């Protein structure tokens, strides 16, 4: 593999020989688990994956002492489907979950077995800090941001949640703590619409002169903090977030959650940052600091969060028994809705590390993501994990790591990938990996092969990623047997159950 460059080749050569095979957890003590889920950060964005214009010393240090995955996939190439799959262990296409507006109903069945519920059962205190994007309320009782906001994260298995409803480019631009909008005043209620303008607040469309970031492609609804958003909102001015301090606010909440935990009781934190999703508005300490423009700045800011989280864990004396995972919900799209100069100032930094496609696509650039694992107590020798892996499997993997038996109906589409966390050369833990785009179309990975089906027969694609990681040479005509093997699986596991296709 050339994609992450020389660094991991070197690491692989240095460590493959020495690392110890250790599948069983070394101690009976359950680890704390922190799953750090970036937004739209790419395969090539960290130093340990080959970036040299963006400094990520904290992430690199964790990777150098942990496990670095070179073939890890997010379950989807967009936000909501990936998050749905992570939390439920179920393919989002089964429930037709695509990118959700900020006033969508909760996409997760509140009676479903979920990853945070599994961890609650295992004795964990579970927290969410950051992005939610899985809907709130129900179709019968749509969310009213002025009232109790329910059901939401707490009804899917989180004990604590401090979050924003959808994306940082969508209304409502507010934080919610558990069931309540933060800093909302009774005399200034919020109204939200994704159909038409509400209230008298200026919009990007009508008042572009008020914008600090020029926007396009529908990012011209209500202006909040000088930025046009998708959708319209009125009121709730005291509750509006400030993009410049968003990182700071969530980091403070994450550290507060860690500090509140009892030392001998395990916790799980899903820390879902807004970096590097548009609009990119780094805090003042990071603006203009990277060598890859504003895009690099928000990734350096993301790296600083990791440094602070590690510090907090060490201060509490629990770093060694914390399983820390760093990944991203999908690949990047550098210019999606704002003229922030990000694309123009990349300075030859390649967020995709040569992979084809972007966020939203079924090519590798859409869903192959960085994935780094650290758990110092296990004394795993650092290694590079080249096995294909998808983080839809965290539900079953965490069940295994915390010693919980779960049924097939609870694990749904997720499989136990825990062996990949402990040894570099393991047998494939699942034959097929399936990723999806926002419309529910899927691509399959099996071994070195990648199949992108199409309803138009001669448009289907087959690539051998070992020789062609850039997906340039469609070999479907030459590899008839491989094509029919992957297509049979696709027809049986996907098309036959997905009646709309």
Residue 323 CA from chain centroid, whole number: 17
Whose Cβ is closer to Ca ion: residue 39's or residue 303's?
A: 39
In the complex, the smallest distance separating the C-beta of residue 40 from Ca ion, rounded to whole angstroms, is 4
Question: How far is residue 309's CA from residue 303's CA, in Å, rounded to a whole number?
Answer: 10
CB 390 within 8 A of CB 444: no
Whose Cβ is closer to Ca ion: residue 358's or residue 424's?
A: 358
- Alpha-carbon dihedral angle through residues 4, 7, 10, 14, given to the nearest 10 degrees: -110
Instruction: For the segment 40-69, give every residue that binds Ca ion (CB under 5 A).
Output: 40
Whose Cβ is closer to Ca ion: residue 131's or residue 349's?
A: 131
Whose Cβ is closer to Ca ion: residue 40's or residue 303's?
A: 40
Question: Peptide bond before 151: cis, by omega within 30 degrees of 0?
Answer: yes
- Please choose, from the candidates 324, 308, 320, the residue with its C-alpha nearest in 3D space to the C-alpha of residue 259: 308
In the complex, the smallest distance separating the C-beta of residue 179 from Ca ion, rounded to whole angstroms, is 25
- Please choose, from the candidates 147, 178, 185, 135, the residue with its C-alpha nearest in 3D space to the C-alpha of residue 160: 178
Determine, following the binding rule CB under 5 A, whether residue 437 of this chain makes contact with Ca ion.
Answer: no
Residues in the chain: 501
In the complex, the smallest distance separating the C-beta of residue 76 from Ca ion, rounded to whole angstroms, is 9
Among 79, 215, 222, 424, binds Ca ion (CB under 5 A): 79
In the complex, the smallest distance separating the C-beta of residue 401 from Ca ion, rounded to whole angstroms, is 26
Question: How far is residue 483's CA from residue 476's CA, in Å, rounded to a whole number?
Answer: 6
Whose Cβ is closer to Ca ion: residue 75's or residue 151's?
A: 75
Among 45, 90, 297, 329, binds Ca ion (CB under 5 A): 329
Residue 318 tokens read as 């629990």
In the complex, the smallest distance separating the C-beta of residue 392 from Ca ion, rounded to whole angstroms, is 15
In the complex, the smallest distance separating the C-beta of residue 37 from Ca ion, rounded to whole angstroms, is 9
Stretch that binds Ca ion, among 106-114, 143-151, 155-163, 328-336 (CB under 5 A): 328-336
Stretch that binds Ca ion, among 36-44, 114-122, 240-248, 439-447 (CB under 5 A): 36-44
In the complex, the smallest distance separating the C-beta of residue 333 from Ca ion, rounded to whole angstroms, is 9
Residue nearest to Ca ion according to CB distances in the complex: 79
Question: Is 501 strand, coil or helix?
Answer: coil
Question: How far is residue 227's CA from residue 338's CA, in Å, rounded to a whole number?
Answer: 9
Q: Could you tell me the CA-to-CA distances from 217 to 77, 202, 226 in Å, in that order?
A: 19, 18, 17
Determine, following the binding rule CB under 5 A, whether residue 169 of this chain makes contact with Ca ion.
Answer: no
In the complex, the smallest distance separating the C-beta of residue 79 from Ca ion, rounded to whole angstroms, is 4
Q: Could you tell me the CA-to-CA distances from 253 to 61, 272, 296, 410 in Å, in that order?
A: 24, 12, 24, 30
Whose Cβ is closer to Ca ion: residue 37's or residue 318's?
A: 37
Determine, following the binding rule CB under 5 A, whether residue 361 of this chain makes contact with Ca ion.
Answer: no
Stretch that binds Ca ion, among 75-83, 220-228, 368-376, 462-470 (CB under 5 A): 75-83
Determine, following the binding rule CB under 5 A, whether residue 39 of this chain makes contact with Ca ion.
Answer: yes
Whose Cβ is closer to Ca ion: residue 266's or residue 282's?
A: 282
Determine, following the binding rule CB under 5 A, whether residue 436 of this chain makes contact with Ca ion.
Answer: no
Whose Cβ is closer to Ca ion: residue 358's or residue 410's?
A: 358
In the complex, the smallest distance separating the C-beta of residue 38 from Ca ion, rounded to whole angstroms, is 8
Total residues contacting Ca ion by CB under 5 A comes to 5
| CB proximity list for 195: less than 8 A, separation 6 or greater | none
**Per-residue burial over 157-175, b = 16 or more CB atoms within 10 Å of its CB, e = otherwise:** bbbbbbbbbbbbbbbbbbb
In the complex, the smallest distance separating the C-beta of residue 289 from Ca ion, rounded to whole angstroms, is 23
Determine, following the binding rule CB under 5 A, whether residue 278 of this chain makes contact with Ca ion.
Answer: no
Among 222, 330, 361, 436, binds Ca ion (CB under 5 A): 330
280 φ, ψ (degrees, to nearest 5): -90, 110
Query: Which DSSP string corresponds to 201-233?
Result: --BTTT-GGG-SSEE-TT--SBEETTEE-BSEE
CB 414 within 8 A of CB 396: yes
Question: How far is residue 150's CA from residue 161's CA, in Å, rounded to a whole number?
Answer: 12
In the complex, the smallest distance separating the C-beta of residue 277 from Ca ion, rounded to whole angstroms, is 6
Question: Is 189 strand, coil or helix?
Answer: coil
Run of H or E residues at 63: helix 57-64
CB 117 within 8 A of CB 472: no
Stretch that binds Ca ion, among 38-46, 156-164, 403-411, 466-474 (CB under 5 A): 38-46
Strands 176-177 and 449-452: unpaired
Whose Cβ is closer to Ca ion: residue 66's or residue 81's?
A: 81
Question: How far is residue 365's CA from residue 356's CA, in Å, rounded to a whole number?
Answer: 5
In the complex, the smallest distance separating the C-beta of residue 41 from Ca ion, rounded to whole angstroms, is 9
Whose Cβ is closer to Ca ion: residue 330's or residue 385's?
A: 330
Q: Which residues contact Ca ion by CB under 5 A?
A: 39-40, 79, 329-330
């Amino acid at each position: 593999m050339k994609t992450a460059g020389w660094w991991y080749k070197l690491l692989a050569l240095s460590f493959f020989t020495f690392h110890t095979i250790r599948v069983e957890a070394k101690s009976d003590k359950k680890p704390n688990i922190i799953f750090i889920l970036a937004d739209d950060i790419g395969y090539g964005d960290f130093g340990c994956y080959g970036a040299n214009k963006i400094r990520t010393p904290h992430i690199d240090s964790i990777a150098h002492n942990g496990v670095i995955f070179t073939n890890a996939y997010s379950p989807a190439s967009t936000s909501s489907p990936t998050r749905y799959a992570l939390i439920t262990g179920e393919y989002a296409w089964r429930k037709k979950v695509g990118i959700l507006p900020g006033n969508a109903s909760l996409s997760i069945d509140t009676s479903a077995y979920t990853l945070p519920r599994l961890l609650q059962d295992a004795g964990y205190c579970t927290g969410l800090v950051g992005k939610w994007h899985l809907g709130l309320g129900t179709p019968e009782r749509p969310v009213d941001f002025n009232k109790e906001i329910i059901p939401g994260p707490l009804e899917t298995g989180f004990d604590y949640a401090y979050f924003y409803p959808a994306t940082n480019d969508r209304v409502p631009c507010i934080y919610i703590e558990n069931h309540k909008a933060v800093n909302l005043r009774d005399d200034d209620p919020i109204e939200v619409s994704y159909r038409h303008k509400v209230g008298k607040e200026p919009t990007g469309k009508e008042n572009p002169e008020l914008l600090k970031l020029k926007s396009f492609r529908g990012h011209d609804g209500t202006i909040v903090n000088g930025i046009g958003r998708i959708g319209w909102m009125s009121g709730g001015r005291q509750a509006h977030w400030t993009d410049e301090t968003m990182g700071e606010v969530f980091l403070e909440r994450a550290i507060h959650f860690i500090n509140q935990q009892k030392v001998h009781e395990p916790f799980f934190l899903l820390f879902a940052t807004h970096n590097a999703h548009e609009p990119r508005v780094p805090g003042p300490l990071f603006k203009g600091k990277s060598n890859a423009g504003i895009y690099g700045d928000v990734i350096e800011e993301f790296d600083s969060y990791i440094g602070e989280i590690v510090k907090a864990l060490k201060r509490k004396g629990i770093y060694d028994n914390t399983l820390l995972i760093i990944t991203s919900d999908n690949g990047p799209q550098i210019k999606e809705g704002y003229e922030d100069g990000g694309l123009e100032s990349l300075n030859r930094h390649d967020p995709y590390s040569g992979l084809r496609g972007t966020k939203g696509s079924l090519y590798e650039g859409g869903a192959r993501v960085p994935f780094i694992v650290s758990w110092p107590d296990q004394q795993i020798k650092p290694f590079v994990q080249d096995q294909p892996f998808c983080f839809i499997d965290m539900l079953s993997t965490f069940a295994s790591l915390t010693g919980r038996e779960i049924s097939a109906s609870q694990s749904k589409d997720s499989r136990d990938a825990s062996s990949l966390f402990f040894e570099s050369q393991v047998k494939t833990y699942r034959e097929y990996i399936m990723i999806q785009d926002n419309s529910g179309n899927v691509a399959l990975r099996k071994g070195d092969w990648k199949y992108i089906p199409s309803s138009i027969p001669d448009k289907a694609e087959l690539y051998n990623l070992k020789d062609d990681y850039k997906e340039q040479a469609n070999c479907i005509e030459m590899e008839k047997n491989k094509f029919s093997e992957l297509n049979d699986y696709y027809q049986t596991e996907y098309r036959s159950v997905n009646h709309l296709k």
